[in-house]
Amino acid sequence: MKKLCSQVFWLNGYITNDRQPGGVAIWQPRFYVSERLRQIMKKENIVLIGMPGAGKSSIGVVLAKAIGYEFVDTDLLIQAREGCLLSEIIEKEGRERFVEIENEVNAGLDVKRCVIAPGGSVIYGIEAMKHFQEIGTIVYLKLSYEDLAKRLGNLKGRGVVLKEGQTLKDLYEERTCLYEKYADFTISEKNRGIEETLQAIRDELNM
């Protein structure tokens, strides 16, 4: 059995009853698509998850344009609902309340044919992630800690949710397992720019 991609396989094939001139049997390859891929192909949205600085919004906008989808940045929806910046919500309401608000907004998202880019802390919201699993294909944009540290500037200004005394390294290690848990596919951004990452996503999703 030869693997063609992560979810589609070429089986041994079979001999048909039809014959070519001269009595030579015709070889027909047979393809098998996994049930997991069948379910993924039925979903109408693509959800990009990953750490702040992984490029969810930058890549999401380009991906949406390339495949004819709309683009939704749920951080902007949160700011519109609350009437202030993410960093201000965290400062006024606290970390726990921000996570609750983020979960509420993402769990209530009702869209079709969209590339969705939620905030990096969305994976703490059980209802939100369950909803995303139902409405979309979840793609984890994986960035190494070293590359992440180079990209990120002011964490507070970005609205990054940190616990008291928690470092960026702590946060990275805490979230990585959750991103991997929920992802249908993981796309490594190592040595890839936006165009290369975009193509890797399209190849994985056959789009």
Residues 54, 26 share a domain: no
Query: How would residue 109 be classed by pLDDT, with cut points 50, 70 and 90?
Result: very high
Least confident of 20-34, 59-73, 156-170: 20-34
User: Which residue carries 């070519």 as its tokens?
Assistant: 20
Same-domain pairing of 108 and 196: yes
26 with 76, same domain: the answer is: no
Six-digit token string for 81: 């609902």
94 and 170 assigned to the same domain: yes
Q: What is the pLDDT averaged over residues 15-35? A: 52
Q: Which two tokens stand for residue 14?
A: 């079979």
Whether 24 and 113 share a structural domain? no
Considering its fold, how many domains does the chain have in total? Answer: 2
Residues 54, 20 share a domain? no
Q: Which two tokens stand for residue 172?
A: 């990275």
Looking at per-residue pLDDT, the higher value among 11 and 87 belongs to: 87
Statement to judge: residues 28 and 94 lie in one domain: no
24 with 98, same domain: the answer is: no
Q: Reply yes or no on whether the pLDDT at 158 is more than 90.
A: no
Read off the pLDDT of each residue in 143-154 and give the average, rounded to a whole number: 85
Least Cα distance to 51 among 144, 182, 138, 114 occurs for 144
Q: Is 143 left (phi over 0), alpha (psi -120 to 50) or beta?
A: beta
Average pLDDT, the chain: 84
Q: Is the dihedral of CA 193, 36, 38, 69 positive or negative?
A: negative
Domain span holding position 132: 37-205
pTM: 0.79
